[in-house]
Structure 1
Amino acid sequence: MALTRVSGKPGDPGTAGGPRTSGKHRRPSRPGRHHGRIAGAAATLATGGVAATLATPAFAADRSAPAAEDTALRQTVVLGDALRESIGDQAEAQESAADTAAAMAAAEARAKREAAQAKRIADARAKEKRAAEARAAREAERKRLNTFVLPVAGSYVSTQYQAAGAAWSSGSHTGVDFHAAEGTPVLSVGAGTVVEAGWDGSYGNSVVIKMSDGTYTQYGHLSAINVTVGRQVDPGQQIGRAGNTGNSFGAHLHFEARTSTEYGSDLDPVAYLRSHGVSL
């Protein structure tokens, strides 16, 4: 075979058959990446395609069974729902307990307020009752101190005050005589304290009482004495019995009113009793 000479300089890039040199204007060629992908796909088709084809019916047959991931997800959802329900129940129970506690606290506070109100009412009523009792006691005491009666119930004066006669050492009667049979009850004409009780010379058995207004009354010629010194007496209380002891000419009661216990401090007994509301 004949050789055809191609003209040109050696190394000339435009000359056919000349040596080709590499340089910055040309890189050595290499297979592209897409060529590798194509080759890989071809290899897969050549070697694994059949396996993939064969595996496809089995995979299709198991499509009804849930995958492991699906099962776990469903279990998580179920557990989450149960947890939410449990948390909701606990929240409702706590809310109910809180409501119950609040209701009990409110009821207790209301009971305390009602008890305090009832106590205030009871205290006010007790205070009012005590005040009423105190008023009644004061009124009773006032009445007791200001009540006077006859020394012999239903009697009358048989000998007047300052009557003249030799029967009296002073020449006149220092008191009044009340008609009374032997043993007739003799009463205190008012409230007071017994300061003398016993034998007193011409007065015989005698009782002297200091009255609540500071005056004194004397009861003479008694057949019996029923009180002792220091005894508190009320109006109309029996202090003895009428008699005929001492300088006396028959059973009667000698009654005097005085400014002191001393003889000669006498007052008009009738005027004294009338000034204290006694009618005679």
Structure 2
Amino acid sequence: MAFGSRAAGSGSGKHRGSSRLSRRTAGYAGIAALATTGVVGSLAGPAFAADHSPSIEDTGTLNTIVVADELAGDVEAQAQSQQRAAEAAAAKAQAEADARQRAAEAKAQAEAQAKAEREAAERAAREEERKRLNTFVSPLDDTYVSTQYHAGGGMWSSGSHTGIDFHAASGTEVHAVGLGTVVEAGYGGAYGNNVVIKHADGTYTQYGHMSSLSVSVGQQVTPGQKIGLSGSTGNSSGPHLHFEARTGADYGTDINPITYLRSHGVTV
């Protein structure tokens, strides 16, 4: 019995109250359990705070959370920065594209305007040329009529003058009065060296007694173009230009040269 009592006493001593470390461990376990229900904050918070010193594991977990939060913030900031950079790059690309479009439009507009101006200038030049070609001029510059149309006298085989005579010193330039084609160029008997031109309206003009000729048959001439020099060849009493206007190529179809020239805007 005594042995049993010692054994019991011995056993009771062996199983006496848990140590401080054991109690703290148990307390932590209980607190952890309570934490899951949210009770630890209201019930055990003061006591736990008074008795708990953070372990290495506790501070490590806290640091991990803080670092994770910081990394998350860095990632978000980096994403925002990349987004801003992408938006800026897109805006720059759009601005460059808009600038290129405006430049292309401005260039196209300038080219269209230049083309329109060229075409207008060309039309004006063609119109000016058309007017020039349809304009008649005097066969001589700074001159006057010395013998009138149908003047009588024995110098003319028909008994009267079939044209008019312009006063001119020998060697004065003689001009075609209008656009036409040379149908005769050479010696013409009583007319001496002469030129006959057919004009677009079907009329003819003749230039006689010239000292030299500058055109040939078939050649097209323009108003004011030089066709020769005045002289006194053929049936002539001195240097002058004999000028005729005709409705046909043959002798005898003459019309009043002054009326003819005036009808084409030439004052003589």
Structure 2 CA distance for partners of 1:74 and 1:159, relative to 1, 3 Å: same
What's the % identity of the aligned pairs?
56
Structure 2 CA distance for partners of 1:193 and 1:53, relative to 1, 3 Å: same
Counterpart selection for 1:66 from 55, 64, 69? 55
Structure 2 CA distance for partners of 1:122 and 1:43, relative to 1, 3 Å: farther
Structure-1 separation of matches of 2:169 and 2:21: 156
Deviation at residue 222 of structure 1 after TM alignment = 1.0
TM-score, normalization by structure 2: 0.71
- Computing the radius of gyration from Cα coordinates, the structure with the larger value is 1
1:29 is matched with which residue?
none
Counterpart selection for 2:68 from 80, 84, 88? 80
1:19 is matched with which residue?
none
1:219 is matched with which residue?
207
Structure-1 separation of matches of 2:11 and 2:135: 141
Structure 2 CA distance for partners of 1:192 and 1:168, relative to 1, 3 Å: same
Structure 2 CA distance for partners of 1:75 and 1:165, relative to 1, 3 Å: same
Counterpart selection for 2:223 from 235, 238, 251? 235
2:87 is matched with which residue?
99
What is the identity, as a one-letter code, of the residue corresponding to 1:52? S
- Larger fraction in helix: 2
Moved over 6 A (4+): 42-45, 54-57
- Name structure 1 gaps, 5 residues minimum: 1-41, 58-62
Structure-2 separation of matches of 1:44 and 1:168: 180
2:252 is matched with which residue?
264
- Answering whether residue 19 of structure 2 is matched by residue 52 of structure 1, we say yes
Structure-2 separation of matches of 1:173 and 1:255: 10
Deviation at residue 152 of structure 1 after TM alignment = 1.6
Structure-1 separation of matches of 2:108 and 2:11: 102
Structure-2 separation of matches of 1:134 and 1:43: 133
Structure-2 separation of matches of 1:115 and 1:43: 106
Structure-2 separation of matches of 1:87 and 1:44: 62
Deviation at residue 271 of structure 1 after TM alignment = 0.7
- Answering whether residue 67 of structure 2 is matched by residue 89 of structure 1, we say no
Structure 2 CA distance for partners of 1:231 and 1:101, relative to 1, 3 Å: farther
1:203 is matched with which residue?
191
Structure 2 CA distance for partners of 1:54 and 1:253, relative to 1, 3 Å: closer
